Amino acid sequence: MSIFSFLFKEQNLPDAIAILDRKDYKSAISKGKVQLVDVRTKREFMSGHIKGAKNIDFFQGSSFESNFSELKKDQPVYLYCQSGNRSQKAARKLVKMGFDKVYDLRGGYRTWTY
């Protein structure tokens, strides 16, 4: 594994996962009702989040999975965390749970300036 692929883990993502830059992400979530999920902790979420996002903490184990089981697996899910690391891990989990398409915000909430 090269240092580049190690640093940019998105190289090895399943086809069901796409990483979007903030402009494309904003455009996608602005097109109507979407499944928008912030996988940060409740404290992080309360300090600021994208309007319309549901908070499902990645670190909550079985609660994480049960909360996602309430979402529609055949519709896209838009994820983000603080930097993009947790949301990529969450995206991989969702694909294993049977979600068809998962979009992740490149760089996470820290890049969100809207």
Q: Within its chain, how far is the Cα of 62 from the centroid?
A: 17
Distance CA 101, CA 31 (A): 16
Residue 81 known to be catalytic: yes
Given the residues 29, 81, 94, 95, select the one marked as catalytic.
81
Those residues with Cβ within 8 angstroms of residue 50's Cβ, 6 or more apart along the chain or in another chain? 29, 36, 38, 80, 109, 112, 114
CA distance to 61, 97, 110, per residue, from 76 (Å)? 22, 13, 22
Q: Which positions are catalytic?
A: 81
